[in-house]
Amino acid sequence: MLEALPLALVLLLVLGAEFVNGWTDAPNAIATVISTRVLHPYRAVLMAAVLNIAGALITGTAVAATIGKGIVRPEAIGLPVVAAAMIAIIAWSTIAYRFGLPTSESHALIAGLAGAGLVTAGPSVLLWEGWRKVILGLGFSTFLGFGLALVVMLLLYNLLRRAGPSFVRRFFGRLQILSAAFMAFSHGSNDGQKFMGAFALALVLGGKLPSFQVPLWVVLLCGLVVGLGTMYGGWRIMRTMGFQITKLEPVHGFAAESSAGFAITLASFLGIPLSTTHTINTAIMGVGAARRFSAVRWGVSRQIVLAWLITFPVCGALAALLALVFKLVF
């Protein structure tokens, strides 16, 4: 029984990181539909929780596999590496949450595994194929998210130039329910898989799985935990995303969610782990910039971008320090 204790502790840490992910990352999927008052917050949270699980169930586990066996060599690390990464994620994300900053748990997870893995096994632990997908994900989340939302919004402005404001709000209020559902589903297809990959990796390292795979019960458990995290503490991030970047009407929410959802779904199909936080953030900036450049509150946007930039070094360094301590002690 004592032999199973380290694995149980690491699995609890993974679930803890997934719960924190519900605070800071999952709210991104529904922030716009709440800020435009198309859906009541509790209905939006329930929809996000259900569709996050559906996205992970239906779209396969390509992203989970990239996280679980494509970032660091599983055979070169042990459970302390996963534990160090999870503690770093929980610590950094909790700090960011206190300031209402929507951080990227994707980057925190990747940086944590890499930092702890480097201290444990050296540079050879890193796998280029997985990191190539991470770099591609940066392009998808930043340039595709912003550019696609900008183009979609400009097209809608052109198509709706003669439509009355009340018609536009009513029509896109209905459509935004669909776009928010699409965004939540795509979030599950990509971001929802990442901690499932970490959970399955811990099961492999703990000897409970003969090879890397993501059992159905892991998908359901992680989906439930991220939904609970969103319901418990996601409101602060929703306020930042939905109200402080730019003024949003249903047509803007529809354009941002549809564009971000498309970029995320495409990345999931290719097995590319990208930051859903980055993607919906840049999409919101894109629809704001389509109205006019000054419509975006760039001061708030700079704070969000700064949080993105320091996530990698902070989580990587903290996980490396923790892994070094674990290595010396155990």
Domain residue spans of the chain: 2-22+39-329
Distance between CA atoms of residues 36 and 252, nearest Å: 9
Whether residue 148 is predicted with pLDDT greater than 60 in this model: the reply is yes
Report percent pLDDT > 90 for the chain: 32
Place of tokens 């890397």: 212
Across 43-57, 106-120, 131-145, the highest mean pLDDT is recorded for: 106-120
Whether residue 103 is predicted with pLDDT greater than 90 in this model: the reply is no
Q: Tens digits of per-residue pLDDT, 244-265?
A: 455 677 888 889 889 999 999 9
Place of tokens 């090879």: 211
pTM here is 0.85
Distance between CA atoms of residues 100 and 238, nearest Å: 9
pLDDT attached to residue 41 = 73
Whether residue 295 is predicted with pLDDT greater than 90 in this model: the reply is no
pLDDT attached to residue 242 = 47
The SS3 call for residue 312 is helix
Distance between CA atoms of residues 231 and 50, nearest Å: 12
Distance between CA atoms of residues 322 and 326, nearest Å: 6
Please name the residue ranges forming H helices in the chain.
Answer: 5-24, 31-35, 41-58, 62-69, 79-98, 105-121, 128-139, 145-159, 165-205, 216-233, 235-239, 250-269, 276-291, 298-329
